[in-house]
């Protein structure tokens, strides 16, 4: 038998904090970034994401976090109960389309 402990996958809040730290952004800056790309977030809801009260954000919020923090949106997806990342990874494409739709507007002169 091995004395190696099983790998622990960080929860959503831990992954959010790691991504924000890497981007050198605080909760208010992330909230402002989300609003700038059209993802509405309440005054207190961003802090609830950062403190772990909200653990299951909307698809739009996930897509926006990926865009604002410069992180592949798959970073925020949860693995399946059986440990498979298949569904989390395949959902990336739907989320990425959502990001593209939110950030691409009509061309401006």
Query: Could you tell me if residue 2 is inside a domain?
Result: no
pLDDT at 107: 55
Query: Could you tell me if residue 108 is inside a domain?
Result: no
What is the end-to-end Cα distance of the chain in Å, rounded? 67
Number of domains in the chain: 1
Which residues fall within 8 angstroms of residue 13, CB to CB, at 6 or more apart? Answer: 49, 50, 51, 52, 55
pLDDT at 30: 96
Query: Could you tell me if residue 66 is inside a domain?
Result: yes
pLDDT at 104: 62
List the structure tokens of 82: 């059986």
Domain containing residue 23: 12-103
- Which CATH number goes with the domain that contains 54? 1.10.260
pLDDT at 59: 78
Query: Could you tell me if residue 47 is inside a domain?
Result: yes
Digitized pLDDT (tens) for each residue of the chain, 109 residues in all: 567 776 666 788 999 999 999 999 999 999 999 999 888 888 899 999 999 998 888 878 888 898 899 988 778 776 654 545 445 545 555 666 666 666 665 554 4
Query: Could you tell me if residue 3 is inside a domain?
Result: no
Query: Could you tell me if residue 5 is inside a domain?
Result: no
pLDDT at 1: 55
pLDDT at 19: 94
Query: Could you tell me if residue 109 is inside a domain?
Result: no
């Amino acid at each position: 038998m091995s004395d190696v402990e099983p790998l622990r996958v960080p929860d959503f809040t831990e992954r959010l904090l790691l991504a924000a730290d890497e981007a050198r952004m605080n909760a208010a800056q992330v909230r402002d970034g989300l609003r700038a790309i059209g993802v509405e977030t309440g005054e207190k809801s961003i802090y609830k994401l950062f403190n772990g009260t909200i653990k299951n954000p909307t698809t739009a919020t996930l897509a926006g976090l990926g865009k604002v923090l410069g992180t592949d949106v798959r970073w925020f997806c949860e693995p399946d109960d059986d440990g498979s990342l298949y569904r989390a990874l395949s959902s990336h494409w739907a989320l990425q389309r959502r990001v593209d739709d939110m950030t691409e507007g009509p061309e401006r002169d």
